[in-house]
Structure 1
Amino acid sequence: MIANFVTSTRIALLVPLFFFVQAEPSGSWAALAVFLLAGLTDVIDGRLARTLNQVSRFGAMLDLLADRLLTFTVLVGLISGGALKGGFLVAALILLARDLIVASFGESVPNLGFKVSNTEKVKITFQFLGIGLLISPRFFEIYGEDQHSIGRYAISISAALTCVTLITYSRRTLAALEEMRRP
């Protein structure tokens, strides 16, 4: 299936992406290019699956895994490269923990199916904007802040929104678990 091949390509891109983020913790065009290519595969695989009628549970699971691994790879690379420290490190850890928590919710309540809310979409936008700004080389400055600083703030906003969405997900999961316990 072509869509699954495209998704697998995203996973294969994680090794060079991690290398580039590690080699240049202050940012590199190579890291940004690989990150954007990985993001492009995320758009393409879903469209291909729907267009070619190749939508499958395996493909959906592989896509979700690739998305989580992309976030994990970049954030761990930025943390270990020293680009995220202090409160910004905490923000990155919240984003990493979110994926584990949401995956745990999904395992505890089969077919829970979290619908992506508008808050989640804004959170994702800030997360990928922040990552993109952090992994690229310095190329602009606004009011004395370079794009790496702006990227750190975007990651922090994403982490704050993550906390909001986790409350919603927790409530839905608890309600579903309560429903499952009823005879």
Structure 2
Amino acid sequence: MSQPSAPAPVLASDRIWTIPNVISFVRLLGVPLFLYLLLGPHYDVAAVVVLAVGGTTDWVDGYVARRLGQVSRLGELLDPFADRLYILATLISFTVRDVVPWWLPGALLLREAVLAVALLVLRRHGHGPPPVHYVGKTGTFTVLAAFPILLLAAAVPATADIAGPIGWGLAWWAVGLYWAAGALYLAQTVQLLRAERVAAAVR
């Protein structure tokens, strides 16, 4: 009996105006709106809504792209860029507003700095970024879920007894997953560089 063939890989197109890309553009527009609401007139509840929508739709653009066959190179760049922008904007604004202590953005941004150095090393050796691991995807989803809950606990004191522990539980999980993913990416980097060194030695 013949073995079932593996599904063909989805090829990314050069299209720009696709439904998934429009969703990603809308997510990006939510970042300045969120910052205005939180740091301007202090409309914290509205900021919670914008942040929650931006976080919970993190998977929507990718799902729609695969479902409709509209995977594009631009979309592959926009999706992680929107995630990073949401995380960076939220960490900065939360620290300014004293929603979270400094160690939380410090822990998350330090990991990003470590990976940025690893990416520079890889590019210097002619390699692209290592493939995204599901641990990293889960960490991103967890931190995007933690942010609106933490803001809700700060904006609506009546919810603090419930929202606070849930938000901080997710935040701790996010930090752990972020650094676990960082360790995996660093291991992949070391493996690539060792393989390159071995290949150069046998030539």
Q: TM-score, normalised by structure 1?
A: 0.79
Which of 167, 171, 175 aligns to 2:183? It is 167
Which of 70, 83, 87 aligns to 1:67? It is 83
Number of residue-to-residue matches in the alignment: 174
Q: Which amino acid aligns with 1:7?
A: S
Contact 1:7/1:62 (CA < 8 Å) preserved in 2?
yes
Q: Distance in 2 between matches of 1:44 and 1:162?
A: 21
TM-superposed CA distance for 1:48, in Å, is: 2.0
TM-superposed CA distance for 1:104, in Å, is: 4.8
Other-structure match for 1:93:
106
Instruction: Report SS of the residue matched to 2:131.
Output: coil
Contact 2:20/2:70 (CA < 8 Å) preserved in 1?
yes
Which portions of structure 1, spanning 4 or more consecutive aligned residues, are displaced by more than 4 angstroms?
A: none
Instruction: Report SS of the residue matched to 1:112.
Output: coil
Q: Distance in 2 between matches of 1:58 and 1:82?
A: 35
Q: Determine whether 1:30 maps to 2:34.
A: no
Q: Which amino acid aligns with 1:140?
A: T
Structure 2: which 5+ residue stretches go unaligned?
Answer: 1-17
Contact 2:24/2:61 (CA < 8 Å) preserved in 1?
yes
Structure 1: which 5+ residue stretches go unaligned?
Answer: none
Distance 1:97 1:106, change over 3 A: same
Q: Distance in 1 between matches of 2:182 and 2:62?
A: 25
Distance 1:83 1:149, change over 3 A: farther
Q: Which amino acid aligns with 1:2?
A: I
TM-superposed CA distance for 1:151, in Å, is: 2.9
Distance 1:6 1:100, change over 3 A: farther
Q: Give the superposed CA RMSD.
A: 2.6
Other-structure match for 2:29:
12
Distance 1:125 1:40, change over 3 A: closer
Other-structure match for 2:132:
114
Which of 102, 125, 138 aligns to 2:115? It is 102
Other-structure match for 2:8:
none
Q: Which amino acid aligns with 1:98?
A: R
Contact 1:94/1:162 (CA < 8 Å) preserved in 2?
no
Q: Distance in 2 between matches of 1:48 and 1:150?
A: 29
Q: Which amino acid aligns with 1:114?
A: V
Other-structure match for 2:12:
none
Q: Distance in 1 between matches of 2:175 and 2:192?
A: 25
Contact 2:58/2:141 (CA < 8 Å) preserved in 1?
no
Q: Which amino acid aligns with 1:99?
A: E
Q: Which amino acid aligns with 2:81?
A: L
Q: Distance in 2 between matches of 1:65 and 1:100?
A: 15
